[in-house]
Amino acid sequence: MNLRILVALALLLAAAPASAQTTGADASLTGSVRDETGAAVAGASIGAICGGVSRETVSGSAGEFSVTGLPGGPCTLTADAPFFESTRVVVDARRAAHTVLRLRVSGFASSVQVTATRRVREERSALPQGTSVTTRADIDARPYQLLPQILREEPGILVQQTTSAQASPVIRGFTGQSNVYLIDGVRFNQSSWRTGPSQYLALVNAGSVDRLEVVRGPGSVQYGSDALGGTVNVLPARPSLTTGGVRASGDLAASFGSAEKSAAGDANVTVQGPLAAIRFGFSGRRVDDLRTGGGIDSHAAVTRFLGLSSEVPDGRLPNTERSAQ
């Protein structure tokens, strides 16, 4: 009887380490991250979730990784890397020897360009001209007071600004009548515009614009002989129809500038229904005289050529106010 008890105790002691190894947090997972061609993917983020335990690591220069401190049992492995689609597999931490995670190259998205060819939607990659598309998210992320100022960060475009309420884009050195401006595909400028910088685009309410599309280079075949420098198409926001009932929404924005005592406001209201949708709004802006630095007009002729002081009354330049509504 005593011999049987001793044998049973010996068997339990021999099995205890193996049980602790599989049920404790001592299991590990090793493997590598590869792309579809079998090449190693370095710097991939590896995540392992086993029950209530989660671990993270990064693949090495050869794509290898090792995750330790895991409990035995089913584990979910995920791998993420820039320019690749994430992948996820389920493995058993008690049995998996070497796990290979394969990543697929993610697809490349191209913005749709509609200005380059009238009434035809084309991908930018298929267009021979240089194009730029500024979305509403880009507009909200850029500092601006006037619509042309949004184009300052686009390649090949210089914004000429004479006063605080006027701005004119210069596309590849052309301005005024040498560029074509469209509002939702309808020509905005005409032959009566001046040949120099045109300030009329600054009158368009930027709050109602959904995107700006610019085609740099000649477009005379489609838009006439004045499309030499480029074409700018201003696309307003278009409300969509609803599946049931009538829904109304709106937005309100206001701004103030101390340098020129400017104040501006935008209000838009959208009414959507199952048969029709309409969006209307109002915008206004008032600009006062521009304040100079230190009360001195640095652009005055006596200051530039003679070096004499040109103090400005009240610290503001007279006759620089402009209003736009």
> What does pTM read for this prediction?
0.59
- Please give the Cα distance from 55 to 209 (Å, whole number): 46
Domain ranges of the chain: 21-105, 112-236, 248-324
Q: What are phi and psi of 66, to 5 degrees?
A: -150, 130
Identify the pLDDT of residue 196: 78
Tokens of 189: 């400028």
- Please give the Cα distance from 12 to 263 (Å, whole number): 84
Identify the pLDDT of residue 72: 79
Identify the pLDDT of residue 307: 73
Residue-level pLDDT, tens digit, the chain, 325 residues = 455 655 455 555 554 443 333 445 678 889 999 999 999 999 999 999 988 888 999 999 999 999 988 887 889 999 999 989 999 999 988 787 889 999 999 876 666 766 666 666 777 777 777 888 999 999 989 988 889 999 999 988 999 887 777 888 999 888 888 889 999 888 888 777 777 787 888 888 888 899 999 989 888 778 777 888 889 999 988 888 888 788 898 888 888 888 777 888 888 899 999 889 998 888 887 877 777 777 777 667 767 777 777 776 667 777 666 544 3
Q: Which amino acid is at 249?
A: S
For the chain, the distance separating the N- and C-terminal CA atoms, rounded to the nearest angstrom, is 105
- Please give the Cα distance from 264 to 267 (Å, whole number): 10
Letter string b/e over residues 126-151, b meaning 16 or more CB atoms within 10 A of that residue's CB: eeebebbbbeeeebeeeebbbbbbbb
> Nearest Cα to 290, choosing from 202, 177, 164, 168?
164
For residue 49, how many C-alpha atoms fall within 13 Å in the half-sphere facing its CB? Answer: 7
Show contacts of 15-22: CB within 8 Å, 24+ apart. 21/72, 22/72, 22/94
Nearest 5°: the CA angle 205, 207, 210 is 105
> Into which CATH architecture does domain 112-236 fall?
Beta Complex (2.170)
Q: Where are the beta strands (DSSP E) in 83-174?
A: 84-85, 87-92, 99-105, 112-113, 122-123, 130-135, 157-160, 168-171
Identify the pLDDT of residue 73: 85
Query: What kind of fold does domain 21-105 have according to CATH?
Result: Immunoglobulin-like (2.60.40)
Q: Which residues fall within 8 angstroms of residue 175, CB to CB, at 6 or more apart?
A: 160, 168, 169, 196, 197, 198, 229
The 3-class secondary structure across 180-202, one letter per residue, is EEEECCEECCCCCCCCCCCCHHH
